[in-house]
Amino acid sequence: MKFKRELLIGIFAVAVIGVSWWGIKWLGGQNVFLTSNIYYARYDDVTGLQESSRVNLLGVEVGNVRSIELQDDGVLVEIAVEDRYAHMIPSNSVAEIGSTGLMGGMEIFIIKGDAEDVMPDGGMFEGRMRPDMLASLSDKGTELLEGLNQTVDGVNSLLNDNSENITMLIANLESMSASVDGIINSSADDIETAMDDLSTFTSTLAENTSRIETLLTNIETFSGDLAESDIFTELETTVSSLNGVLASIENGEGSVGMLLNDTQLYDSLTSAGDNLSLLLEDLKANPMRYVHFSLFGSSDEKAARKAEREARRAARRGETVVEEPVEQTVE
Domains of the chain: total: 2
298 confidence band (pLDDT: 50, 70, 90): low
Q: What is the DSSP string of 172-220?
A: HHHHHHHHHHHHHHHTHHHHHHHHHHHHHHHHHHHHTHHHHHHHHHHHH
108 confidence band (pLDDT: 50, 70, 90): confident
Residue 297 CA to residue 306 CA, distance in Å, equals 13
Answer whether residue 86 shows pLDDT above 50.
yes
Which of 136, 161, 184 terminates a domain? The answer is 136
329 confidence band (pLDDT: 50, 70, 90): very low
Minimum mean pLDDT range among 57-61, 193-197, 273-277, 292-296: 292-296
Range of the domain at 305: 292-331
40 confidence band (pLDDT: 50, 70, 90): very high
For position 209, what pLDDT does the model report?
87
Flag whether 275 is in a domain.
Answer: no
Mean pLDDT of the chain: 77
Residue 32 CA to residue 26 CA, distance in Å, equals 8
Flag whether 190 is in a domain.
Answer: no
Percent share of the chain, pLDDT over 90: 1
Answer whether residue 101 shows pLDDT above 70.
no
Which of 109, 136, 163 terminates a domain? The answer is 136
Mean pLDDT of 128-145: 70
Flag whether 3 is in a domain.
Answer: no
Flag whether 58 is in a domain.
Answer: yes
Which of 136, 157, 179 terminates a domain? The answer is 136
Task: Report yes or no: 46 and 57 within 8 Å, Cβ to Cβ.
Answer: no
326 confidence band (pLDDT: 50, 70, 90): very low
Quote the DSSP letter at residue 130. P
Contacts of 55 (CB under 8 A, 6+ apart): 61, 62, 63, 64, 65, 79, 80, 81, 95, 107, 108, 109, 110
Minimum mean pLDDT range among 121-130, 289-298, 318-327: 318-327
Quote the DSSP letter at residue 87. G
Query: How many C-beta neighbours within 10 Å does residue 46 have?
Result: 22
Residue 51 CA to residue 64 CA, distance in Å, equals 8
Pair type for strands 74-82 and 36-43: antiparallel
For position 49, what pLDDT does the model report?
83
Flag whether 18 is in a domain.
Answer: no
Pair type for strands 60-71 and 94-99: unpaired
Flag whether 151 is in a domain.
Answer: no
For position 160, what pLDDT does the model report?
82
For position 4, what pLDDT does the model report?
67
